[in-house]
Structure 1
Amino acid sequence: MNEIKCPNCGQVFSVDEAGYSAILSQVRTEEFERELKSRIEMIEESGRKENELNLNKAMAEKNDEIGRLQLELEQAKASIGKNEMEFDMVLQKAMAEKESEIVKLNEQLKSIEESGELITKNEVAKAMAEKNDEIGRLQLELEQAKASIGKNEMEFDMVLQKAMAEKESEIVKLNEQLKNIEESGALVTENEVAKAVADKESQISELNMKIQQLESDAKQNSERMEMAVTKAVNDEKQKYEEKLAASNEALFRKNEDLVRLDGELAKAKLEGEIALKEAVSEIEKQRDTQKAEYEAQLKAQQETLEYYKDLKTRMSTKMVGETLEQHCENSFNMIRAAAFRNADFRKDNEVKEGSKGDYIYRECDDDGNEIISIMFEMKNEMDTTSTKHKNEDFFAKLDKDRKNKNCEYAVLVSMLEAESELYNQGIVDVSYDYEKMYVIRPQFFIPMITILRNAAMNSMDYKRQLNDIKNQEIDITHFEERIENFKTAFSKNYSTASKQFNTAIEEIDKTIDHLNKVKENLQKSLNNLRLANDKAQNQLTIKALAKDNSTMMQMFEELENNGDLSIE
């Protein structure tokens, strides 16, 4: 049987396994629905974000490609414009130089006319007009050639330099001719003028041919450049169209995936709704069944409560308290043999400091180690009692009894404050004021013992380990004490031995000093003996001994003369 507390009234009911499983199924169904809804939202959000990312990526690639093509076109236009500007500058410079040379030649011809030469003014004017016409035509053709040359800058520079060199050569020749005319003063005949005009026409013809060749080359180069630019643009356009087609195909596939995901999502939603409806229907059926069962149980409990209320009105205050104690004791004894074989539950008859509790619960393991101990206090009163007590009035006494009897927990089994929602909701923990103290109603008497006992049993391993650690610490302490004793004894022995060793060293030092003194005395004696020996060797002679003895000297001289003795 499982117990469930009503969230509205706080009443605790016992539910069989089937009802409990049905409630769990209901909770799991709601969790499944929430999880399903969450997964569906995640799938939708993920698909939407992925499509947005792919679309943005494709659009960015297209914009980059368009920008690159536009940049290449702008660069091509800028290059063409730059070449045209450079060509115009070079052409203008060349034309300015030619105009300057022509002005100089006109001035020289004018000076020749004024000096009285045979060349007539009309002929010179006609020749100059023809020359100016020819120059104007050449300028027009050069302008046309400039428009057709385009970007071929290197070839134009080479041709222009060659034409400029020829013009320079022609100008040099004309200058030399004019110089010769001025120096020689010779008359210019009509034949010579005609010859000069023919030479000019020949040169102009050659220039026309060169200009035509230049125009042809420029046109061919321009056509080649246009073809190359057109080909490059077409290639880039084809690549862009291929990329655009691939991007469109990818978007199409993404749209197909979205459609498929939408279908799967709709199917999942439909299946979830069907499952939810079925679960709701099943839960409603179970709820109705459980509601009927709860109502029946509630009715039975109300009848029991009315019975006890009626019973209390017929009892004295002492009888009411004794009835609660007997109820708790009987409830415990009914399951003692099955659940609490090693437990000791009895009344507290030992008075300490003028106080005692109602019951003490103790339980030990097979080794005699205490598992748990609880001090119980049972409090009840009649509804008609004038003096109404509160549960907190007994907390201090219960805590004192717990400490006096060395109990781990304190539990107040109370019927006081019958209308209090706090105490009617179940087990109340008041350890915030008094350590390890709880307040319960009588119906929670056995469950409270079971909860505390199971918690203590679960912590037995830790208690054993703690005891082992304490024993190890005791062993370590004893070991340390033995080490300290050994160190003390060893230190004492060392001190004694060290003292004796120092004494022996001092005695040895004294002996060494004495021997050194003996050594010095012996050395002094040896020195005196050496001196005596030296004296004996050097001073002890016959001559020295007989020095002041004339008789002995005479005898020794006779012996020496006879050869029997040598005197030194």
Structure 2
Amino acid sequence: MNNIKCPHCGTVFTINETEYSQLLAQVRSSEFDKELHDRLARETQLLEEKSKNNLQQELGKKDAEIADLKAEIENLSSVNALEMAKALSEKEKEVTNLQNRLDKLSLEKDNELQTALSKVEKERDEAKNQLTLQEKESELELSSVRSDYESQLKAANEQVEFYKDFKAQQSTKAIGESLEIYAETEFNKVRSYAFPNAYFAKDNEVSGRGSKGDFIFREADENGVEFLSIMFEMKNEADTTKTKHKNADFFKELDKDRREKNCEYAVLVTMLEAENDYYNTGIVDVSHEYEKMYVVRPQFFIQLIGLLRNAALNSLQYKQELALVREQNIDITHFEDDLETFKNAFAKNYTSASNNFKKAIDEIDKSIRRMEEVKRFLTTSENQLRLANNKLDDVSVKKLTRKNPTMKAKFEALKEE
């Protein structure tokens, strides 16, 4: 047991070991906490002081850095101010130069604009004058055309009246012939300057069908290449004729005549169906019925030839090229024919030579056989001669006189002499 005296009231307490240990632990804990608290307070104060010192040092450094930065900024501001002033001065010079150039360009543009404006005004005035001149020329041309048209119309009317009067006075045959005479006369009027190299004459050649046209027109270039050919048929009849013909009645025969005479175009020059507006409007193309066929009134006879001639001249180059190709093809054909003729002749000669060669070979073979036969005969003769020679070698005086005493006596007598 342990006795504990209270320091305040002096009372003594008795406590066992367990209570004493607990009380001692409690006292120690309080003192430790107080000591720890005091220690923490001191360290905290030291840390605060240290922090203040460090902060003061840092603030001093920062103030120094700020002072340095301020000095550097002031230095840079001074340098920049000089550079900016210099740059500004250069920019002002550039602006001044640009303004001067702009003023110069503006002045040049004003001059160019003024020049262009003057040129345009001049061209406008010239165009106005040209337009006025063209209008006057157009008026004159229109007046001339109108005058020509009126003259042609008057001439046509007079011509119609003439033909009406003329037909009334003529027989049917004479009426038909008069149209042919008219066509030939009209062509001869312009032949010398419009168609100097053309052929235009009556078709006097009767075809195999017993038919022929009235006129044939042909024209070729300087190389003889024909570029236009026309078969003409003239049809007319008296107004009092009971049976009236139609233009279409003659299309088929005209087309056959064109083809048989190798003409490119067929033209019916007709006075038939005088009241038919279809044929009175000008040149009528009936190629939808018959290829390259036209129907005209007599007054359009020459005009149609001119139109067809102009169209043919446009295609003349192609016809010339086609003629050249045909000529080349003919040359090739001639060459092929000549080559074929040569081949045939050569083959004939070769066959003849081959036959003669065979005959010669046969004759040579026969000759060889004959020579072999002669050789055989000669060989046989040689053998006979050899045998004869051998026999001759065996001949001697002694053998010859052996059975001939007379000869033996003569030879012995010759020896003694």
TM-score bracket, shorter-length normalisation = 0.5 to 0.7
Tell me the CA shift for residue 242 of structure 1. 2.9
* Deviation string, structure 1 residues 472-500 (Cα, Å, up to 9, x no partner): 224312332145336646876789989x9
Range with greater deviation from structure 2 (267-276 or 484-493): 484-493
Query: Per the alignment, do residues 410 and 271 of structure 1 end up closer, same or farther by CA in structure 2, a change over 3 Å counting?
Result: closer
Q: Is the 8 A contact 1:148 1:222 kept in 2?
A: no
Cα distance in 1 for partners of 2:262, 2:176 equals: 25
List runs of 5+ in structure 2 lacking aligned partners.
Answer: 1-42, 365-417
User: Does residue 1:239 correspond to 2:94, yes or no?
Assistant: yes
For residue 269 of structure 2, the aligned residue among 387, 391, 413 is 413
Per the alignment, residue 107 of structure 1 pairs with: 46
Please tell me whether Structure 1 or Structure 2 has the larger radius of gyration of its CA atoms.
Answer: 2
Cα distance in 2 for partners of 1:237, 1:325 equals: 100
Match of 1:272, as an amino acid? A
User: Does residue 1:305 correspond to 2:160, yes or no?
Assistant: yes
Tell me the CA shift for residue 350 of structure 1. 2.9
For residue 334 of structure 2, the aligned residue among 475, 487, 493 is 475
Query: Which aligned pairs between 1:104-503 and structure 2 lie closer than 5 A?
Result: 107=46, 142-150=65-73, 219-236=74-91, 238-243=93-98, 245-285=100-140, 287-288=142-143, 291-313=146-168, 318-331=173-186, 343=199, 345-346=201-202, 348=204, 350=206, 352-353=208-209, 355-360=211-216, 374-383=230-239, 389-418=245-274, 423-424=279-280, 426-431=282-287, 433-446=289-302, 448=304, 465=324, 468-485=327-344, 488=347
Cα distance in 2 for partners of 1:438, 1:370 equals: 20
Query: Per the alignment, do residues 248 and 315 of structure 1 end up closer, same or farther by CA in structure 2, a change over 3 Å counting?
Result: same
Query: Per the alignment, do residues 245 and 342 of structure 1 end up closer, same or farther by CA in structure 2, a change over 3 Å counting?
Result: closer
Cα distance in 1 for partners of 2:98, 2:205 equals: 99
Tell me the CA shift for residue 148 of structure 1. 4.0
Query: Per the alignment, do residues 244 and 433 of structure 1 end up closer, same or farther by CA in structure 2, a change over 3 Å counting?
Result: farther
Query: Per the alignment, do residues 269 and 305 of structure 1 end up closer, same or farther by CA in structure 2, a change over 3 Å counting?
Result: same
Query: Per the alignment, do residues 470 and 311 of structure 1 end up closer, same or farther by CA in structure 2, a change over 3 Å counting?
Result: same
Tell me the CA shift for residue 408 of structure 1. 4.5
Tell me the CA shift for residue 273 of structure 1. 1.0
Match of 1:379, as an amino acid? K
Tell me the CA shift for residue 305 of structure 1. 1.6
Query: Per the alignment, do residues 132 and 292 of structure 1 end up closer, same or farther by CA in structure 2, a change over 3 Å counting?
Result: closer
Cα distance in 2 for partners of 1:289, 1:337 equals: 26
Equivalences, count = 313
Tell me the CA shift for residue 361 of structure 1. 5.3
Cα distance in 1 for partners of 2:103, 2:336 equals: 84
Cα distance in 1 for partners of 2:124, 2:222 equals: 61
Tell me the CA shift for residue 260 of structure 1. 1.8
Cα distance in 1 for partners of 2:77, 2:192 equals: 117
Cα distance in 2 for partners of 1:382, 1:374 equals: 26
Query: Which aligned pairs between 1:548-567 and structure 2 lie closer than 5 A?
Result: none
Q: Is the 8 A contact 1:346 1:361 kept in 2?
A: no
* Deviation string, structure 1 residues 29-71 (Cα, Å, up to 9, x no partner): xxxxxxxxxxxxxxxxxxxxxxxxxxxxxxxxxxxxxxxxxxx
Q: Is the 8 A contact 1:361 1:375 kept in 2?
A: yes
Tell me the CA shift for residue 268 of structure 1. 1.6
Match of 2:202, as an amino acid? R
Range with greater deviation from structure 2 (337-346 or 317-326): 337-346
TM-score w.r.t. the length of structure 2 is 0.55
Match of 1:277, as an amino acid? T
Cα distance in 2 for partners of 1:451, 1:220 equals: 101
**1:323 aligns to what SS in structure 2?**
helix
* Deviation string, structure 1 residues 299-333 (Cα, Å, up to 9, x no partner): 23323322323443555655533432343345456
Q: Is the 8 A contact 2:236 2:271 kept in 1?
A: yes
Q: Is the 8 A contact 1:357 1:376 kept in 2?
A: yes
List runs of 5+ in structure 1 lacking aligned partners.
Answer: 1-103, 112-127, 151-218, 505-568
- Highest relative contact order (Cα 8 Å, sep 6+), 1 or 2? 1
**1:266 aligns to what SS in structure 2?**
helix
Cα distance in 1 for partners of 2:101, 2:70 equals: 43
Tell me the CA shift for residue 262 of structure 1. 1.3
Query: Per the alignment, do residues 107 and 419 of structure 1 end up closer, same or farther by CA in structure 2, a change over 3 Å counting?
Result: farther
CA RMSD, aligned part only? 5.1
Tell me the CA shift for residue 223 of structure 1. 1.2
Match of 1:298, as an amino acid? L
Q: Is the 8 A contact 1:413 1:441 kept in 2?
A: yes
Cα distance in 2 for partners of 1:238, 1:366 equals: 82
Tell me the CA shift for residue 287 of structure 1. 3.8
**2:122 aligns to what SS in structure 1?**
helix
**2:267 aligns to what SS in structure 1?**
strand
Tell me the CA shift for residue 398 of structure 1. 0.5
Query: Which aligned pairs between 1:512-551 and structure 2 lie closer than 5 A?
Result: none
Q: Is the 8 A contact 1:427 1:438 kept in 2?
A: yes
* Deviation string, structure 1 residues 404-440 (Cα, Å, up to 9, x no partner): 3444442211123445666445444544543443333
**1:265 aligns to what SS in structure 2?**
helix
**2:259 aligns to what SS in structure 1?**
helix
